[in-house]
Amino acid sequence: MERVFQALASTPRRKILAYLAHAELSAGDIAARFDMSKPAVSQHLSVLENAGLITSEKRGQFVFYRLLPDALANVLNGYVQEVCPVSRPLKAESRALADKREDQ
Amino acid sequence: MERVFQALASTPRRKILAYLAHAELSAGDIAARFDMSKPAVSQHLSVLENAGLITSEKRGQFVFYRLLPDALANVLNGYVQEVCPVSRPLKAESRALADKREDQ
DNA sequence: AAAGAATATAAGTAATTACTTAAATAAATT
DNA sequence: AATTTATTTAAGTAATTACTTATATTCTTT
């Protein structure tokens, strides 16, 4: 959890996650969307990967990154439910909804 | 949002939020639970307050802090729904649940 | 009014983080 | 086999963050 929150505490990294929400992208595709060097983006990617939020796969010359959406949802939902009393009663019900959806 | 995620990227600050989930506490009560100086805890408290996650009220000699649970829930839920495709279909329904609950 | 208690602010330092450019590695192309 | 392309690793630096102790402020008690 520590690593997830640390990973999320950066605007460029949250932006990377938003890009990956819609599509798998190569390291270069991602770097092209930022006004910073490729090594800097590469470091952000490894922070996100070490936090378990994304995963990478090398195909030929490219390294493709994609989101691991469950990791993000689990940590954030889990945390908000632990800390916000109001959200606790919703926990069981929202999990039921999610489980139902996964079956489909 | 920037400030919220930055505030959450610290174990002592997440611990403070957890303490405040159960009760309102004075700055001293909180500081007593940590192995660090009172000014250090005071700074963590102001980071949390600037992020809009907690609020403070001076009563006599003491300053009491309490959680603003909606701020946390809104930012984290909002973010997870934006980034995690799977969670999107749940958005409307979970909001409906939350609204219903607020009416009570 | 003086002393004590609770808290915050100020100032300084150590540790961490976010970049940079340069060099290394690995795959594709000529 | 040499060159180009995609990416990462390495090394260094600037900026930020997380503490510390000392001082200031505000309230309470004597």
pLDDT tens per residue, range B6-41: 999 999 999 999 999 999 999 999 999 999 999 999
DSSP B87: G
Per-residue pLDDT tens digits for A28-76: 999 999 999 999 999 999 999 999 999 999 999 999 999 999 999 999 9
SS3 state of residue B36: coil
CB contact under 8 A, B80 and A101: no
Give, in Å, how far the C1' of D10 lies from the CA of A39: 11
Where does the pLDDT of residue B77 fall: very low under 50, low under 70, confident under 90, or very high at 90 and above? confident
Is the Cβ atom of A5 within 7 Å of strand D at any atom? no
- Provide the Cα torsion A48, A13, A24, A74; round to 10°: 60
Distance CA B80, CA A73 (A): 6
Which of chain D's bases lie under 7 Å from a protein CB? 5-11, 17-22, 26-28
Give, in Å, how far the C1' of C11 lies from the CA of A32: 42
Give, in Å, how far the C1' of C28 lies from the CA of A24: 22
Chain A closest-CA separation from residue B35 CA (Å): 19
- Tell me the whole-structure pTM to 2 decimals: 0.84
SS3 state of residue A101: helix
